[in-house]
Structure 1
Amino acid sequence: MNKKFFGLLFIILLTSCNKKESPNSIDNEIINRVEIFEKPAKVYVVTEQIIDNSSDENLEQIIYEDIFRFLSANSDTEFANIEKLSAGQQMYWSTWIVEREVNNGGFNQFYFNNSIELGEIAYKGFKTLNAHKFSDLMFDANKVFKENKKELEAFYNGTAESFSKSYEKNPLGKFDDMFYDLNNTLHLRQLRVKYIREHKNEFINR
């Protein structure tokens, strides 16, 4: 997997002063992310019965842990491993990462921690969910990042000071509030869970 992914918790905590407020509690988002990474992953064999019998909250965690374990166990690049996932799993993983990254530190943090390829997978993932306003927003954010990639990546040198400065006059900032407002009316968790329950075969263990 991309080594930046494993530095995610550090960057989330490092940049807490740079985050914009979202409809969700940012402090709770950080705590939830830390808890997911600190506790041992449960070994689930994802079956139709598990999907049917899990609460919405637990179902998201089960699918997350299943995909995370698969990606971690393979030595190919992050993008190559994600391409091995089903369309539904790609949708889940990419949109989950976008949502948590943007809620914690905006689109700037998303592109710092992840590749543009994941952003493009997320664009397709939002379309898979029929969340077209999200897919349009992701398309625009990807476009702006690619247009400003050289300038933004000059700040992405691994230091707290440089990353903090990357928020100044950042062209991606305008998309953050748009994302928060959308997610306040079109809840991504609900859309993902609905998709999982309606497309079980895409999430049953390979």
Structure 2
Amino acid sequence: MHRLGNANPSISNMTASSDIMKAFEDLLAMLPPASQEAMRQLMASARERPRLGSLAQEALARLDAGDRESAVVDWVGRHLDACSDALAALQALPRGLQVYYLSFVVEAQVMNGGFNQFFWNSSARFAPLIAPALSDLGSPGAAEIFREAWAVAIAEGVERPKDCERSLEMFSASCAASRLQALDRPFCELAMHFPALREKIAATNDPAFDV
């Protein structure tokens, strides 16, 4: 389960999608060389998650819930990385798979660092797709909170800065000044139920999940 607190503008979850790994490398670049090496060794010693070549039902059925979630998100992330237009590629996937992935992305980002982190990081590119996905997931309340957060982000001009301008200090300052913080807790309370709702999609293939 993700937890709100100790916000980090670069890391949402130790999943092998390229967005998250790039964010991890961005964070490492801010650390002294010795700390960078220590963090890389820690990552290397972590238990390796399964990586699937396809999302065949028989392969997914052999995994427990945690590994299944990791494997699905990793598969979608690698699929999007291989495409020149990630948004179009995501929308071309079965609806259940879209809902699964998008709900994971917004859950991971907001649980880790609030809505400000979601809109600060590259996850912001998925903003137009999030609310409909949360509605299809079975969480209309979360969808409504996201719509409100997106409106606030637009009004406040929250956007991901250029890589050369990013820093932890800038992120912290943007959090302190934003009205987005008031929406974090009510969203996270609903997001705690997202994993079970995703499992239901994978189990029932409703909406369609098979690739």
TM-score, structure 2 as length reference? 0.72
1:65 aligns with 2:80: no
Question: 2:134–2:142: 8 Å Cα contact kept in structure 1?
Answer: yes
1:90 aligns with 2:98: yes
Q: Which residue of the other structure, out of 48, 51, 68, is the alignment partner of 2:57? A: 48
> CA, structure 1 residues 179+11, in 2 after alignment: closer, same or farther (shift >3 Å)?
farther
Q: Which amino acid aligns with 2:90?
A: I
Quote how far apart the aligned CAs of 1:178 are: 1.0
Question: 1:107–1:141: 8 Å Cα contact kept in structure 2?
Answer: yes
Which residue pairs with 1:158 in the alignment?
A: 166
Which residue pairs with 2:8 in the alignment?
A: none
Counterparts of 2:140 and 2:181 in 1: how far apart (Å)? 20
Quote how far apart the aligned CAs of 1:111 are: 0.6
1:204 aligns with 2:206: no
Counterparts of 1:11 and 1:129 in 2: how far apart (Å)? 31
Which residue pairs with 1:137 in the alignment?
A: 145
Q: What is the total number of aligned residue pairs between the two structures?
A: 179
Counterparts of 2:147 and 2:187 in 1: how far apart (Å)? 12
TM-superposition CA deviations, 1:91-150 (whole Å, max 9, x none):
11111011111111110000111354412211111111121111111111111111222x
TM-superposition CA deviations, 1:166-205 (whole Å, max 9, x none):
1112111111111222234xx1100011111111783334
Matches within 5 A, 1:1-206: 6-9=21-24, 39=48, 42-74=51-83, 76-114=84-122, 116-149=124-157, 152-153=158-159, 157-184=165-192, 187-199=193-205, 202-205=208-211
Counterparts of 1:200 and 1:182 in 2: how far apart (Å)? 20
TM-superposition CA deviations, 1:4-52 (whole Å, max 9, x none):
65543257789xxxxxxxxxxxxxxxxxxx68x9958623322122233
**Runs of 4 or more above 6 Å deviation:** 11-14
> CA, structure 1 residues 49+78, in 2 after alignment: closer, same or farther (shift >3 Å)?
same
Counterparts of 1:54 and 1:38 in 2: how far apart (Å)? 15
Question: 2:49–2:70: 8 Å Cα contact kept in structure 1?
Answer: no
Which residue pairs with 2:35 in the alignment?
A: none
Q: Which amino acid aligns with 2:23?
A: L
> CA, structure 1 residues 182+12, in 2 after alignment: closer, same or farther (shift >3 Å)?
farther
TM-score, structure 1 as length reference? 0.73
Structure 1 gaps, min length 5:
15-33
Counterparts of 2:49 and 2:68 in 1: how far apart (Å)? 17
Q: Which amino acid aligns with 2:96?
A: G
> CA, structure 1 residues 154+130, in 2 after alignment: closer, same or farther (shift >3 Å)?
closer
User: Is the partner of 1:166 in helix, strand or coil?
Assistant: helix
Counterparts of 2:187 and 2:207 in 1: how far apart (Å)? 30
Structure 2 gaps, min length 5:
1-17, 30-42
Question: 1:91–1:125: 8 Å Cα contact kept in structure 2?
Answer: yes
> CA, structure 1 residues 189+154, in 2 after alignment: closer, same or farther (shift >3 Å)?
closer
Q: Percent identity?
A: 22
